[in-house]
Each structure stands twice: as C-alpha cells, then as structure tokens.
C-alpha cells in the first residue's frame, strides 16, 4: 500500500458535479439517440436534477451533433467487405448561469470488427454491442471532463 501511495496512484472515486449543475437541462440534437439516453441516465444516477426546459435550469448541456455510422476498412479479393469500423461522434458544450463551463468539444471514438457474410446475425449483434460500448466510453469521458470543472 505504501508503494502505491508513493507513486501517486489513487482510486478514481465517484463522479462529482459542479454546483452550477444542480438543475440541468440537456438540449439534444436527437432526443432518441443512444448517447443522449445514456448521458441522461448517468447524470440522474449521480444526483443531478434534470429539468424539462431551460427556463428552470442552472446549467444547460447542449448536444449539437450526435452521429454514428460504420465504414468499410478492408475488402477481400472478390471485393467483399471483410472489416468494418464503427464510429460515434458527439459535439457538446456545458453552459452555466454565469457563462460557459465547458466550451464546445468534439469526441469521436471508433471500434473495428471483422465481417463474415455467413454470420450475418451474429455480426449485426456484435456491431450493436460495439456501439453500446463506444457510447459508454463517451459518457465516461464527458462525465470525467465535467467532474474536473
């Protein structure tokens, strides 16, 4: 324990929000996106009071861009895709009553997976799981940025 303490290692601890986020409004570009739903759930579970309009909010979290898709990374000799890249991009900002708390940030995370045309259903599920994992990572990064304010 002494060695771990001496090197600067410490447990991350719980997510803490700035006081300005006591009552937060989330303004999504797409209210049905996976990122919006996961961020909303994470903020609620950390004790942030989410409000339905900006009028009663002490802070506004704006999601101006929220996109996910996939692109082909490689093809076989017969021009059949063999590897895909799934990506998720979000652009967001956090504004408090006295001004911006977090300027606009753009995050893009990617994951690769191999594709086999004989395993279509399994690969579709793998793609969905990769998107969910990417969103979890994005939400974790955003929460970490907020907790440092």
Q: How far apart are CA 113 and CA 40, in angstroms?
A: 28
| Pairing outcome for strands 49-50 and 81-96 | unpaired
Q: Is residue 10 part of a domain?
A: no
* Better pLDDT: 85 or 2: 85
Residue 6 lies in a domain: no
Higher pLDDT, 5 or 95: 95
How sure is the predictor about 40, in pLDDT bands with cuts at 50, 70 and 90? very high
CB 113 within 8 A of CB 73: no
Residue 64: inside a domain: yes
Question: Does the pLDDT at position 1 exceed 60?
Answer: no
Report if residue 84 sits inside a domain.
Answer: yes
Is residue 74 one of the residues assigned to a domain? yes
- What mean pLDDT do residues 42-50 have? 92
Domain count along the chain:
1
pLDDT in tens, 58-89: 999 999 999 999 999 999 999 989 999 999 99
Q: Could you read off the pLDDT of 91-138 as tens digits, one per residue?
A: 999 999 888 999 999 999 999 999 887 887 788 899 999 999 999 999
Between 3 and 14, name the one with better pLDDT: 14
Residue 89 contacts residue 101 (beta carbons within 8 Å): no
Residue 2 within a domain = no
First and final C-alpha spacing in the chain: 29
The boundaries of the domain holding residue 109 are 16-147
37 pLDDT exceeds 60? yes
Q: What CATH number is attached to the domain comprising 116?
A: 3.30.160.150
| 77 backbone φψ class: left, alpha, beta (φ>0; ψ -120 to 50) | alpha
Would you say residue 92 lies in a domain? yes
- Establish if 8 belongs to a structural domain: no
Question: So what's the pLDDT on residue 42?
Answer: 94
């Amino acid at each position: 324990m002494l060695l771990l303490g001496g090197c600067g290692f410490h447990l991350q601890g719980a997510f803490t929000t700035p006081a300005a986020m006591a009552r937060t409004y989330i303004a999504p570009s797409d209210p049905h996106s996976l990122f919006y739903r996961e961020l909303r759930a994470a903020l609620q579970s950390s004790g942030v009071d989410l409000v339905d309009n900006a009028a009663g909010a002490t802070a506004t979290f704006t999601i101006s861009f929220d996109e996910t898709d996939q692109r082909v990374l490689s093809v076989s000799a017969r021009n059949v895709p063999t590897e895909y890249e799934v990506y998720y991009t979000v652009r967001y900002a956090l504004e408090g009553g006295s001004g911006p708390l977090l300027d606009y940030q753009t995050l893009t995370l990617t994951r690769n997976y191999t594709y086999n045309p004989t395993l279509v259903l399994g690969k579709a599920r793998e793609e969905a799981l990769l998107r969910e994992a990417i969103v979890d990572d994005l939400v974790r990064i955003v929460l970490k940025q907020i907790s440092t304010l």
